[in-house]
Amino acid sequence: MTELTLIGMGAGDPGHLTLAAVQAIRAADLILIPEKDGKEDLADLRRVLLADILPDDGVQVRAFAMPDRDRLPADYPGTVQDWHDRIAGVWHTAMAGAARVALLVWGDPGLYDSTLRIARRLPGLTVRVIPGITAIQALTAAFAIPLNTLGGAVAITTGRRLRDHGWPAGADSVVVMLDGQDSFRHLDGPAHVWWGVNVGRPEQVLIAGPLPDTADRLTAAKAAVRAQVGWAMDIYLLRRTLTDD
Ligand SMILES: C[S@@+](CC[C@H](N)C(=O)[O-])C[C@H]1O[C@@H](n2cnc3c(N)ncnc32)[C@H](O)[C@@H]1O
């Protein structure tokens, strides 16, 4: 029987690792690290985190090549299902013979991440989750603001949904993730934005202000961070007004 522990590693700051995460890393026999062309920095970050907390021997670290997928497929659900099947196959091979396997998952495994869906494809695995600090928590902490207004509802959505469907009904605070298209430019009506790129990393940039006036600064800051370190992930909180009460 193999136990697979999905360990939330936080959103890029080594200080996000919880005590439970450190204990789970040290208790593993094998730690799998995804490697993807063009994302070497992120694999390196996992190695740096591990180097600080692993004992000198006893835990094996094994890299696996993350399968690629078509970014603009005609059949999106079918393509993603097939991609997840292929990742599950690669995991299956990579974890052969190990009893306690761990995977470091960016942020928290339960938030906009498919690791749990992929793990379900492998029969006979016991899956355990160690929660991690999400990019949402990293963002609101960086600005020292609450996520929600007083008693208000929060929606968490993607850049694509914001663009296609507009402001989520009933929410006075909206968190936008996975936005490769600067979807804050497509909002109807004014809003206030708290925006961060590579939050928690040394190169992080935080910008707050009214939209649409701030939009060009956000686009430029994201491009500058990407040019500096080779990758850029942004996240933002929107409210119609500046107030949180
Ligand atoms: C695939 S999702 C993973 C989310 C992750 N599981 C979590 O709990 O935060 C990737 C998205 O998370 C956000 N994100 C993750 N880390 C971030 C960071 N350090 N700074 C800004 N945004 C981040 C971005 O919106 C990015 O597009």
In tens digits, what is the pLDDT along the chain, a chain of 245 residues? Answer: 899 999 999 999 999 999 999 999 999 999 999 988 666 677 788 888 898 888 777 789 999 999 988 777 788 888 899 999 999 999 999 998 899 999 999 999 999 999 999 999 998 899 999 999 999 999 999 999 999 999 999 999 999 999 999 999 999 999 999 999 999 999 988 999 999 999 999 999 999 999 999 999 999 999 999 999 999 999 999 999 888 78
Q: Please name which of 94, 93, 106, 90 lies closest in space to residue 39, comparing C-alpha atoms.
A: 106
Structure confidence at residue 71 (pLDDT): 74
Structure-block tokens of residue 163: 């663009």
Total residues belonging to the chain: 245
**Contact assessment for residue 6 and residue 132, using Cβ atoms and an 8 Å cutoff:** no
Residue among 66, 106, 147 to mutate when testing ligand 1 (max atoms within 8 A of CB): 106
Q: Is the CB of 205 under 6 A from ligand 1?
A: no
Distance 1 CA to ligand 1 centre (A): 32
Residue nearest to atom 2 of ligand 1 (CA): 112
Q: Is the CB of 134 under 6 A from ligand 1?
A: yes
Distance 91 CA to ligand 1 centre (A): 23
Q: Is the CB of 196 under 6 A from ligand 1?
A: yes
The H-or-E segment that residue 137 falls in is helix 135-143
Q: Is the CB of 157 under 6 A from ligand 1?
A: no
Q: Please name which of 162, 153, 152 lies closest in space to residue 236, comparing C-alpha atoms.
A: 162
Distance 107 CA to ligand 1 centre (A): 7
Regarding beta strands 30-35 and 2-8, do their DSSP bridges make them parallel or antiparallel, or are they unpaired? unpaired
Predicted TM-score (pTM) of the model is 0.94
Residue among 112, 115, 162, 176 to mutate when testing ligand 1 (max atoms within 8 A of CB): 112
Give helix 40-53 / helix 19-27 axis angle, nearest 10°: 90
Pairwise CA distance, residues 140 & 147, whole Å: 6
Amino acid at 124: G
Residues 6+ apart with CB under 8 A from 128: 3, 4, 5, 6, 24
Structure confidence at residue 39 (pLDDT): 67
Structure confidence at residue 38 (pLDDT): 67
The H-or-E segment that residue 227 falls in is helix 215-229
Structure-block tokens of residue 98: 């190990």
**Contact assessment for residue 175 and residue 154, using Cβ atoms and an 8 Å cutoff:** yes
Q: Is the CB of 199 under 6 A from ligand 1?
A: yes
Distance 56 CA to ligand 1 centre (A): 31
9-12-14 Cα angle (round to 5): 70
Structure-block tokens of residue 238: 């929107």
